Amino acid sequence: MSLSFAFEISMWLTSACAVLLAGWLLLQGQRQAAMPALAGFAAMMALWCSGHIAILHQLPQLGVALVLANPLMPMFFLHFALQFTARHQPRWLLPLLYSLTLLVMLVSWLAPGGAVKQTAGFDGFFVFTGVGWFNLLYTVVLGIAAHAVLWQGWRQHSGNKRRSIVAMFLAGGWGLLLATSFVFPSLGLSWYPYPMLLLPSYLLLLVYGVVRYQVLAINAFANKALLWLAMLLLVLALMALLSALLGQLGMQALAAVPASQLWLYSALVLLLSAAGYRPLATLARRLIYPGLTLSESLLAQWRSRLQQCTDWQQLSSLASQLLSEQLRQQVTVTLPLAGRSSTTLNICCQRDNNGWHYELQGWDDVTPGYRLQGEIFAQLLLASCNSLEQSLQLATAERKRLDQQHLVELGALSAAMAHELRNPLNIIAMASASTSAEVRGHIQQQLKRADRLIADLLSYSGQLQLHCTDVAVKALVYSVISQQDWHGVACRVELPDDLSVYADSYRLQQVLINLLDNALAFCRNQPGAEICLQSRRQQHKVWLYVHNNGPAIDAAQQASLFQPFVSKRAGGSGLGLAIVRRIMQAHGGEVKHRTDLGWPVSFELEFNSPQEAKHD
């Protein structure tokens, strides 16, 4: 291989890589503001190399013009450096510099500023003449200015951006070493520019050093570039070996082909393979999977939207919507707690001890392309299910922690309040003994009310420790009834004698007292006032009902009926029903307000049967 041919191969590789990188960087410019300027630098590098190729192919005027356009390379790089380091500059600075650069180029073309002469290894090579030296000086000044901007950026920034600037300086030093050989013929030195054979590495190292810390995709691009470069070197080695063996095998015609041509043809075939790989792969995928229209941006959009869901129903609905829009036919997604559907196409995601898995139901008759999209979407959906599950678990754990912390704080506060309040109340009670009977009666009534408020607060905020036994409900009810003031209110007890529940007798008595107190407060002084206690048994459940014919509860108040400190009862603490709910939940039961049982007001207490409760 001649030295001239080796130089041409280097220029072709540099130019091809520069064009590919310029196009890719322009696409990245939508997300990185500085990338278009760097793309301009790569494009000018391609044109500069094309100028040398034109000179080798006996096109001196075109070649000299392209080489003399070299000031645009550092100009684009200076533009990039200003944007990359976020340096503020006057709005007129860049237009002025670009105008001056174009003027220098124009003067160099008209003068002219370059010529072609014979030198070591070349029949013709570019040399600077006359005003061309000013062109070179201007190019060097722009390069120094760009690196000065980067130096200032290195001092101001940190992290990945600072690493990128260091990488640029290292690549710049390598490029300077390679570029010095370009001016050998212009200085009258008849030396072959061996360093320029490595020029393709300069552009790759520079661009990779700039963006490897800023654009993640360039790392994947560099990985592919290194793979293709390794394949190219392997093909060149194989061609050299084949050329040596052909003569030994008697194939004189093939052995007579110059090795440089074999290498050139092999390199071109490999480059064509690299260029055609993606289109051919896309064509093959469309033939095998007709209807497949997935893209990286679509997958990223799906992943982002699915990750934003906060509950299973929302995730199920959104997943169904996204895949239905993509396939243009109705698809449903079945998730835990999100319901089921009978639609033809369904993705069912479930969780077992081995983690999340999916099943495509009704996809047997769809095209392979549609099924592949369903498989890929299901994989994204599993990741979203796992993420949502973890988020809900963390939210539940955090809510429980806060609730527990709140109860501990409230319990401590309530105990302190009880201690601080009951002492002055006892003093007031003792002091009331010396007052008149009427005044003493009023004082004692208010003291009982204050004591009840304190007791309710302690009951709601304190820790519930249950001591459960089989409780005969009817006997307990009559015990509670005997403690109430039933003046003017009728009470009916319709409970079977053998009815029992597994509960804490003291806490169940507290539940009944609170419900009866509430009922009496609203029924008393009302004509025909009546309270009725009933029950119902079914399999492993027992229900107790406390009815009264007092005024119905407003619909607006029913939603907050069991919330603490919500009460319409005069003198009430607002904790009675909240205490009832807390005690019932501690027993594994529930309390509900009912309006469909034939009474204006009904409260339903749900218990497990004694056998079931003991088992739990």
Cα–Cα distance between 560 and 553 in angstroms, integer? 11
571 pLDDT exceeds 60?
no
Distances from the Cα of 203 to the Cα of 15, 135, 163, 210, 531, angstroms: 10, 22, 18, 11, 92
Whether residue 227 is found in the same domain as residue 199: no
Whether residue 257 is found in the same domain as residue 273: yes
Q: What average pLDDT score do residues 256-278 get?
A: 70
Are 347 and 361 in contact by the 8 Å Cβ rule? The answer is yes
Cα–Cα distance between 136 and 515 in angstroms, integer? 98
Residues 6+ apart with CB under 8 A from 123: 4
Give the confidence band of 208 by pLDDT, cuts at 50, 70, 90.
low
Look at residue 414 and tell me if it is in a domain.
no
594 pLDDT exceeds 70?
yes
- pLDDT tens for 396-412 read 888 888 777 776 776 67
Cα–Cα distance between 122 and 562 in angstroms, integer? 96
For residue 216, what pLDDT is reported?
45
Whether residue 24 is found in the same domain as residue 103: yes
- Residue 594 tokens, joined: 């009912």
- pLDDT tens for 128-170 read 999 999 999 999 899 889 888 888 888 888 776 777 788 877 8
Look at residue 587 and tell me if it is in a domain.
yes
Angle, vertex CA 133, rays to CA 130 and CA 136, nearest 5? 150
Q: What average pLDDT score do residues 267-277 get?
A: 72
95 pLDDT exceeds 50?
yes
Structural domain boundaries, residue 236: 218-288
Which DSSP helix (H) or strand (E) runs through 487? none
Cα–Cα distance between 106 and 129 in angstroms, integer? 15
Distances from the Cα of 304 to the Cα of 130, 274, 373, angstroms: 60, 32, 17
248 vs 613, which has greater pLDDT?
248
Cα–Cα distance between 505 and 209 in angstroms, integer? 77
The 10 Å Cβ neighbour count of residue 211 is 26
- Residue 328 tokens, joined: 């243009």
Cα–Cα distance between 123 and 5 in angstroms, integer? 12
- Phi, psi for residue 73 in degrees, rounded to 5: -65, -55
For residue 253, what pLDDT is reported?
64
Q: Which of 28-37, 305-314, 575-584 shows the lowest mean pLDDT across its residues?
A: 28-37
For residue 169, what pLDDT is reported?
77
For residue 458, what pLDDT is reported?
66
Cα–Cα distance between 574 and 319 in angstroms, integer? 44
Q: Which of 437-441, 545-549, 550-554 shows the lowest mean pLDDT across its residues?
A: 437-441
Cα–Cα distance between 367 and 363 in angstroms, integer? 9
- Segment of 76-80, 210-214, 251-255, 610-614 carrying the highest mean pLDDT: 76-80
Around 280, how many Cα atoms within 13 Å sit in the side-chain half-sphere? 6
Look at residue 449 and tell me if it is in a domain.
no
90 pLDDT exceeds 50?
yes
- What is the total count of domains within the chain? 4
Whether residue 189 is found in the same domain as residue 303: no
Q: What average pLDDT score do residues 5-32 get?
A: 80
Q: Which of 367-371, 519-523, 608-612 shows the lowest mean pLDDT across its residues?
A: 608-612
Q: Given the DSSP bridges, would you call strands 590-594 and 114-119 parallel, antiparallel or unpaired?
A: unpaired
Look at residue 55 and tell me if it is in a domain.
yes
Is the bond into 112 cis (omega within 30 degrees of 0)? yes
Angle, vertex CA 176, rays to CA 172 and CA 178, nearest 5? 115
- Mean pLDDT of the chain, nearest integer: 80
SS3 237: helix
Please say which residue of 389, 417, 452 terminates a domain.
Answer: 389
Q: Which of 180-189, 472-481, 532-541, 605-614 shows the lowest mean pLDDT across its residues?
A: 605-614
Whether residue 20 is found in the same domain as residue 150: yes
Cα–Cα distance between 537 and 532 in angstroms, integer? 17
Cα–Cα distance between 529 and 564 in angstroms, integer? 27
Whether residue 198 is found in the same domain as residue 230: no
For residue 477, what pLDDT is reported?
93
Look at residue 454 and tell me if it is in a domain.
no
- pLDDT tens for 214-243 read 544 455 555 666 676 677 777 767 766 766
Whether residue 486 is found in the same domain as residue 561: yes
Please say which residue of 369, 389, 409 terminates a domain.
Answer: 389
**Region class of 363: left (phi > 0), else alpha (psi between -120 and 50), else beta:** alpha
SS3 104: helix
For residue 403, what pLDDT is reported?
73
Greatest pairwise CA separation for the chain in angstroms: 138
For residue 209, what pLDDT is reported?
65
**Scanning the structure block, which residue is given the tokens 């993606």?**
278
Exposure letters 89-102 (e unless 16+ CB within 10 A, then b): eeeeebeebeeebe
Look at residue 269 and tell me if it is in a domain.
yes
Q: Residue 355 forms beta bridges with which residues?
A: 352
For residue 260, what pLDDT is reported?
65
Q: Which of 28-32, 574-578, 586-590, 592-596 shows the lowest mean pLDDT across its residues?
A: 28-32
Whether residue 245 is found in the same domain as residue 367: no
CATH number, domain containing residue 562? 3.30.565.10
- Residue 230 tokens, joined: 């390794």
Whether residue 257 is found in the same domain as residue 187: no
Look at residue 320 and tell me if it is in a domain.
yes
For residue 421, what pLDDT is reported?
75
Look at residue 407 and tell me if it is in a domain.
no
Whether residue 264 is found in the same domain as residue 309: no
Cα–Cα distance between 12 and 200 in angstroms, integer? 9
Please say which residue of 335, 366, 389 terminates a domain.
Answer: 389
Q: Which amino acid is at 335?
A: L
340 vs 531, which has greater pLDDT?
531
Distances from the Cα of 318 to the Cα of 313, 315, 338, angstroms: 9, 5, 12
**Region class of 121: left (phi > 0), else alpha (psi between -120 and 50), else beta:** left
Give the confidence band of 97 by pLDDT, cuts at 50, 70, 90.
very high
- Residue 491 tokens, joined: 């009470």
Cα–Cα distance between 248 and 254 in angstroms, integer? 11
Q: Residue 548 forms beta bridges with which residues?
A: 531, 601
Cα–Cα distance between 280 and 288 in angstroms, integer? 12
**Scanning the structure block, which residue is given the tokens 């027993």?**
587
Please name which of 373, 367, 365, 358 lies closest in space to residue 344, comparing C-alpha atoms. Answer: 365
- pLDDT tens for 483-528 read 888 888 899 999 999 999 999 998 899 899 889 988 888 888 788 8
The 10 Å Cβ neighbour count of residue 334 is 20
612 vs 264, which has greater pLDDT?
264
Q: Which amino acid is at 603?
A: F
Please name which of 453, 606, 601 lies closest in space to residue 539, comparing C-alpha atoms. Answer: 606
Cα–Cα distance between 427 and 270 in angstroms, integer? 102
SS3 47: helix
Whether residue 351 is found in the same domain as residue 475: no
Which DSSP helix (H) or strand (E) runs through 96? helix 93-110
Whether residue 188 is found in the same domain as residue 149: yes
Are 104 and 69 in contact by the 8 Å Cβ rule? The answer is no
Cα–Cα distance between 440 and 249 in angstroms, integer? 129
- pLDDT tens for 290-343 read 555 667 778 888 888 888 888 888 888 888 888 888 777 788 888 876 555 555
Exposure letters 235-245 (e unless 16+ CB within 10 A, then b): bbeebeebbee
